[in-house]
Amino acid sequence: MAAGRRRVAVTGGAGFIGSHLVDALVARGDRVVVIDNLSVGRRENLAHHLPSGRVELHVADVLDGDRLTPLFDGVATVFHLATQCVRVSLFDPELVHKVNTEGTLRVLTAAVAARIRRFVYVSSSEAFGSAKTVPMSEDHPRDPTTIYGASKLAGEHYTMAFHRTYGLETIIARPFNTYGPRAHFEGAYGELIPKSVVRILSGRPPLVFGDGEQTRDFTYVEDTVRGILLAGDSDLVGESVNIARGEEVTVNRVVDLILRECGRVDLRAEHGPDRPADVRRHYGDISRARRELGFAPLVDITDGIRRYVNWFRDAYPDIGAVAAQEQPVNWQPIPK
């Protein structure tokens, strides 16, 4: 069945990237089954779709394999995004292992049982670990530094094994650092860009852990989602593909851009200790995505931060209430 007239499933579809993927799938005419336990995702991220009937939200856990199989009935493609993040893995590695590794195994098993044709596993550049050579191609050594990275790599291996063992059409999409509207700023799920925006708009200095010269390949969420969709429709069965901007940016530069966009160049970043197991360098080679998918990222870091700050000001006019939810050191559990 052609793209745009299919029934597809998205695990983690109420989350940050997942909800943007749902937006794109609906926009092209697909009907979407969202599976999310709402531990991280938010119902409000999908609220604009639910009345139309084009999106079904099932509050379910990827660890509940028996529940997944009937939810996949009539589904052509599964996009698997449900995950627990890198910072949670630093204080609750068992949870991250269960969701990211065991959960992926159960989703794959349910997909085979439901006779799903195609399975898109959304991995992470963290599966590579820190760059040994740049830019990092799909063949770059995979040597993760965190439990999160190791769990995403395990998911990649399970995905490939299901292709070889059961003939499931699997594709691994490997996004680099995604940012944009709906990104988390709260608690352990808070990312650098949204956390910095919250702090700066509330008059507090941004926090940088380490010297700030660590690099990332920051990719605007619309570009990430377009890459995932292109990968899902491609002939890269049994293969992986990087989805990134293809630009190396230091954390210090990102924070400076946010300060300027927020009109607070008077503030200066505060530096804290290095985050445990933090990767030093990430810079994605997107040659395969350009060649095989026709992928071309459209939003650079300056434009992306401008778009995000403008969206944030509209979405959260009460910055005081938002600031109270931001956790400075977000790789440690909140004391009870």
Catalytic (active site) residue 148? yes
Partner residues linked to 331 by β-bridges: none
For residue 148, the SS3 value is helix
Closest CA to 328 of 221, 205, 223, 220: 205
323 Rama sector, left if φ>0, alpha if ψ -120 to 50, beta otherwise = alpha
Query: Where do the H-state alpha helices sit in 65-189?
Result: 65-71, 88-91, 93-96, 103-113, 147-166
* Rounded to 5°, angle at Cα 26 from 77 and 34: 55
Candidates 148, 158, 179, 308; catalytic one: 148
Closest CA to 330 of 276, 280, 258, 252: 276
- Residue 14 phi, psi (nearest 5): -95, 0
Residue numbers annotated as active site: 148
